[in-house]
Amino acid sequence: MFVDTTARRTEGARHSAEQGLICAFVLQGTETPASIELSAVVPAVAKEDGVVWLHFSASNAGARRWLGQTGCAPAEFLHLIEEHESRVHMKADAASLLGVLNDFAFADQLDPSEVVTLWVYASDHLVVTARNHAAQSADVLRRVAKERLESTSGQALLARLLEVQVDLLRSWLMEAASQLDRAEDRILIGDVSSQRERLGHLRRHALHLRRHFAPTRAVLHRLLQQGADARGGIDVNVWRTAHDEFSFAIDEAVAVYERAKILQEELASRLSEATSRNLYVLTICTIVFLPMTLITGIFGMNVSGVPGVGEPVSSAAFWWVMALIGAAGAATYLLIRIRRFF
């Protein structure tokens, strides 16, 4: 019996992988979520007891075929996947939500410049998510679901996914704020050697974060601003909370961007001051050595009649050269005055 059960589980896992299923869970109140195989999905959805979450790899053609055959997702959802729709939007009707979201690409270290598209569909008892590449928020939610995850509806579970995104946003923003604090301290004590690259890195990532996730806030805002008939039966309180959290995170990203910009300007100002100070010292040194340079240049000329070398003073070559030097200096001075360089 044990061998037969193990064989069935292995066969079920292989079949699920062939259909592109990454994970499937049944969430029932406060009970520990149950992981199920693909063969048990349709009966679990038909029971309408709890919430079923299906997470697929959209790059697998078998996933799209299975969803179309079983009717677990509407045709419009499959159309979004097939067309690789990446424009962030969300649409609600009387019983479901359908949309496209951005998510962080899965990586050891969070990178706001690397995002993937996440297609979502949620009804009262079913949530279907699909992505072409590994998504960080979906993977975090999958790990949470293996231990303990409560959800009263498909909308609540989808909102929980957005909450995970906000948590990831805030974790990066807290680290960015800490790095800005350290950079500011180094700049104030005069250590500006390695701060330019760090500030540019933070500013660029904050800009990417705002660019990729501000549309989610706008989508949630439009969803909440719709009339009751247009937005269907969505839970307004759930989505208002998600909107407020996204708004706060995006505002923090803007603050990080502006602070990095100000520190870059302060860094540029300090570098400019250091350059001006060095040029001032160099100018003073040039003025100090100018008479000595002029004298050595004059007496180093290879012309006849240079005083002090034992040649007849009557030779006029030296004085012609001196006159030429004076004329060149006067012409340069007049040109500068005419062009108003000072």
Looking at residues 115-120, what average pLDDT do you find?
A: 91
User: Which pLDDT tens digit goes with each residue over 153-202?
Assistant: 788 888 888 888 989 998 999 998 898 888 888 877 777 667 778 888 88
Ordered by start, the domain boundaries in the chain are 2-270, 301-342
> 236-299 and 154-188 are packed helices; what angle lies between their axes, rounded to 10 degrees?
20
What is the model's pLDDT at position 121?
92
Q: Which two tokens stand for residue 121?
A: 């569909």
**pLDDT of 246 over the 50 cut:** yes
Looking at residues 133-152, what average pLDDT do you find?
A: 84
Q: What are residue 115's DSSP bridge partners? A: 104
User: Which pLDDT tens digit goes with each residue over 51-75?
Assistant: 889 999 888 888 888 888 888 888 8
The C-alpha atoms of residue 278 and residue 272 are separated, in whole angstroms, by 10
Residue 308 burial (CB < 10 Å; 0-12/13-18/19+)?
exposed
CATH of 2-270, one of 3.40.50.620, 3.10.129.10, 3.30.460.20, 3.10.450.30: 3.30.460.20
Which of the pair, 291 or 281, is modelled with greater confidence? 281
Looking at residues 322-326, what average pLDDT do you find?
A: 77
The C-alpha atoms of residue 271 and residue 192 are separated, in whole angstroms, by 8
**pLDDT of 139 over the 80 cut:** yes
Distance from the Cα of residue 334 to its chain's centroid: 56
Q: Which two tokens stand for residue 80?
A: 């979004």
Q: What does the mean pLDDT of the chain come to?
A: 80
Closest CA to 124 of 51, 46, 73, 71: 51
**pLDDT of 119 over the 90 cut:** yes
Minimum mean pLDDT among 56-65, 72-81, 97-106, 289-298: which range?
A: 289-298
pLDDT band at 304 (very low <50, low <70, confident <90, very high): low
> What is the pTM assigned to this prediction?
0.75
What is the model's pLDDT at position 297?
76
What is the model's pLDDT at position 120?
92
The DSSP secondary structure of 196-259, one letter per residue, reads: HHHHHHHHHHHHHHHHHHHHHHHHHHHHHHS-HHHHTT--HHHHHHHHHHHHHHHHHHHHHHHH
Q: Which two tokens stand for residue 61?
A: 């053609």
